[in-house]
Amino acid sequence: MTAEPTFEEALARLDEIVRRLESGDVALDEALGLWREGEELHRLCLERLTAAEGRVEELEAEQDDNTSGTL
């Protein structure tokens, strides 16, 4: 089983896929495979961003809780 790429690796690969598809120099079968891979990478990046956003909100709430008690 292959480990999932980091967010940065997934984003770089997604960028590479977009460039290849936009170039128009890809056979149809390969383009479909790249599209499928791109969809999966997009999902992965979106999940990671959503998780990071949730963590930032948790940290902000913790900070708010800590600073509200000092007044």
Spell out the domain ranges in the chain: 7-68
Look at residue 70 in the predicted model and tell me its pLDDT: 58
Residue 41 token pair: 């990478």
Chain centroid to Cα 45, Å, comes to: 1
Look at residue 69 in the predicted model and tell me its pLDDT: 65
Look at residue 66 in the predicted model and tell me its pLDDT: 83
Structurally, what CATH architecture does the domain formed by 7-68 represent? Orthogonal Bundle (1.10)
Q: Which residues of the chain have pLDDT under 50?
A: none
Look at residue 67 in the predicted model and tell me its pLDDT: 82
CA–CA gap between residue 19 and residue 60 (Å, rounded): 37
Count of H helices and E strands in the chain? 2, 0
Look at the pTM and tell me if it is higher than 0.75: yes
Look at residue 30 in the predicted model and tell me its pLDDT: 97
